[in-house]
Each structure stands twice: as C-alpha cells, then as structure tokens.
C-alpha cells in the first residue's frame, strides 16, 4: 500500500502533468548533451558522439513511459491504452465493424442464455408454492414420460391420496370466429381447479368454478393479459361477452395476470376447461341394467295378443 506522502506526490504530478512532462524532457535533453560532451572529450566526432549518446541513453519514449509508470496512477495507463485502441479502430473501419458485430452477437447470446437460465433454474416459479408443484406422467415401455388421456386423468384424480390437488392441462389450437371470419388462435384446456392449484388469481373477473368443466355446465373462457389488451383494448366490460371458439360460444369470465406464465401451454390466448362427462356410479349402472333386464323379461313372458281371423 502506498504511503500518504507518495500518494499526494503522485496526485500533485497528475495535476501538473504538462509541467512535469516539460521538465522531464529538459532533464533527458540535459543528460544526452552531457553524454555527447563527454564522448567528444574522449575524441569522437560530434555526429558520432551524438549517435553514441542516443544509444547509451536509450529510447526517449520508453524512458518517458517508465517515468509515467513510476509517478502515475494505474488508471492513467488504462486510459492511454483505451485512447490508443480508439485510434487504431478509426484507422481500420473494416476491422472495427467486424469486431463490433462479433461483440454484439456475443453479448446477445450471453444475455439470452442468462435469461433462460435465470427463468428456468435460478428464479423461482411465479406460483404460490413452487416447491410443492410436481409434474405427473404415465410411464410405458416405449415412452418413459408419456401424456395420459383425459379419462385416465379423471381416474387418477378420483384415486388420488397423495397430492392435495391433481389438475391437468393441454395446449391446443382453436378456431376463433369473429365478425370478420374464422381465424386460428392459440389456446389451452385445463381442469376446473388448475389455476387454484397454481395459486393464480385473475386480475379481472373470476376463476373457473368447481364443476365448470362438466358437460352440462355453460362454456366459459379466461383471457390472457396480452389477448385482453390486443383484442379487447383492455376494456373491463369484456366480462360477460361471448367468444366463439371451435364453433361453441364461450362466456368470458376473467383475465389472467400480466406476469402469469406457464411454459408448457404458451403462448395461449384463450384458456377453457376440459369437457368432463357425467360420471355414473357402479350402483347406478347396476340399477339401470336390472331395470332394463326386468322390463325385457316381462315383455317376453307376456302371451301374444290374439289376432282376428282373416
């Protein structure tokens, strides 16, 4: 660590840098002239003595740089190197353009990679309890992580004794019908408790209610925040409006938050529910079969009605 006296001396030289440079040049010239005179006294001609003194004294530029390194600060050398680099880049515009392009591509790639790693590995998922969320797949000999059918999901949910909730999603394309005609739209289908499991609350309106995925329930839809802004101009009276998706009218009941993201189903504009068929219990099915069988047996046991002679 530099002593305070040496630091303030360097600071004084830095403030009086022009005077220091002129004094340094005068001192260097004095030593060169003194060396030339000594060589001339020894018998060398003036020109030969001058060349010999220059060789003996060394490069004036190198001596200047060495003196600056001793009495100057480190940032000064960095600043000098930066100025030198700028001069070189101005003299070579082709190299400058290539180097700038390579740096820009490298920075963009680094930013993209860091953003992906930050979103996927570092930053926690934007849900209520991200550490408690797991993905469940069906394992087969061909596909170790296979998707399941919706009916299998209903069986899994009915027999679930491990998870606090079990919900499903599916990313699908939709046909949006408007006054200007039909057009493709990005959508997703989810079970009625999907957003409650994630802990996501709409910024406008409400979530899917329990049982709203039944076949007998009215068709409802949630909008993504971007769709609400782009297609409906962010108007709050969008609630209750009907939107035709795949030929069915769906009532808009809510808008998802702006920061909501669910990568497996993105980019989804419209979020609807699966259509869950009515579940018939085994007792109900057995009763219906027994009544049907009794009715059939009764019809077979009745005697045929007499026919009138021709």
Q: What is the pLDDT of residues 166-177, one digit of tens each?
A: 999 988 899 999
Q: Which of 224, 220, 207 is nearest to 268 (CA)?
A: 224
Dist. CA 167–CA 154, nearest whole Å: 9
pLDDT for the residue numbered 18: 66
pLDDT for the residue numbered 285: 43
Higher pLDDT, 298 or 266: 266
Higher pLDDT, 24 or 272: 272
Higher pLDDT, 15 or 231: 231
pLDDT for the residue numbered 145: 81
DSSP conformation letters of the chain = ---HHHHHHHHHHHHTHHHHHHHHHHHHHHHHHHHHHHHHHTT--HHHHHHHHHHHH--HHHHHHHHHHHHS-HHHHHHHHHHHHHHHHHH-HHHHHHHHHHHHHHHHHHHHHHHHHIIIIISPPSSS-GGG-----B--SS-TTB---HHHHHHHHHH--SSS----EEEEEEEEEETTEEEEEEEEEE-TTHHHHHT---SEE-PPPTTTTBTTSPPEEEE-HHHHHHHHTT-GGGTT-EEEETTEEEEEEEE--TT---GGG-S-SEEEE--BPPPPPHHHHHHHHHHHHHHHHHHHHSPPPP----
307: left (phi over 0), alpha (psi -120 to 50) or beta: beta
pLDDT for the residue numbered 25: 73
For helices 17-41 and 4-15, give the axis angle rounded to 10 degrees: 90
Query: pLDDT tens digit string along 19-71?
Result: 666 766 777 777 777 777 777 777 788 788 777 777 776 666 666 666 655 55
pLDDT (mean) for 264-288: 68
Least confident range of 73-77, 136-140, 160-164, 288-292: 288-292
68: left (phi over 0), alpha (psi -120 to 50) or beta: alpha
Q: Per DSSP, what are the bridge partners of residue 182?
A: 177
pLDDT for the residue numbered 297: 46
Dist. CA 188–CA 221, nearest whole Å: 10
Query: pLDDT tens digit string along 234-262?
Result: 998 999 999 999 988 999 999 999 988 88
The rounded mean pLDDT for the chain is 78
Q: Which of 193, 188, 218 is nearest to 208 (CA)?
A: 193
Query: pLDDT tens digit string along 106-122?
Result: 999 999 998 888 766 77
Q: Domain locations in the chain?
A: 4-91, 168-273
For the cut 70, the answer to whether the pLDDT of residue 95 exceeds it is: yes
For helices 46-57 and 17-41, give the axis angle rounded to 10 degrees: 130
What pTM value is reported for the model?
0.55
């Amino acid at each position: 660590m530099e002593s305070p006296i040496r630091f303030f001396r360097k600071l004084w030289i830095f403030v009086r840098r022009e005077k220091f440079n002129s004094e340094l040049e005068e001192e260097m010239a004095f030593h060169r002239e003194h060396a030339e005179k000594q060589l001339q006294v020894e018998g060398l001609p003036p020109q030969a003595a001058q060349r010999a003194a220059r060789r003996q004294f060394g490069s004036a530029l190198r001596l200047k740089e060495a003196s600056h390194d001793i009495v100057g600060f480190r940032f000064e050398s960095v600043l000098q190197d930066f100025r030198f680099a700028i001069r070189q880049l101005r003299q070579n515009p082709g190299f400058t353009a290539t180097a700038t392009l390579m740096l820009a591509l490298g920075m963009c790639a680094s930013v993209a990679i860091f953003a992906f790693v930050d979103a996927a590995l570092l930053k926690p998922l934007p849900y209520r309890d991200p550490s408690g969320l797991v993905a469940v797949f069906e394992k087969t000999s061909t596909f170790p992580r296979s998707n399941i059918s919706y009916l299998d999901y209903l069986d899994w949910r009915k027999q679930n004794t491990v998870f606090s909730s079990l919900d499903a999603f599916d990313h699908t394309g939709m046909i949006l019908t408007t006054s200007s005609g039909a057009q493709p739209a990005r959508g997703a289908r989810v079970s009625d408790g999907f957003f409650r499991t994630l802990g996501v609350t709409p910024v406008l309106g409400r979530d899917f209610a329990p049982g709203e995925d039944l076949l007998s329930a009215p068709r409802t839809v949630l909008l993504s925040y971007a769709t609400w802004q782009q297609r409906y101009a962010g108007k709050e009276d969008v609630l209750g409006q009907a939107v035709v998706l795949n030929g069915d009218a769906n009532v808009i009941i809510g808008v998802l938050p702006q920061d909501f993201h669910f990568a497996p189903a993105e980019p989804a504009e419209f979020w609807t529910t699966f259509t869950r068929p009515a579940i018939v219990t085994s007792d109900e099915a057995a009763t219906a079969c027994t009544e049907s069988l009794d009715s059939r047996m009764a019809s077979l046991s009745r005697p045929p009605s007499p026919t009138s002679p021709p």
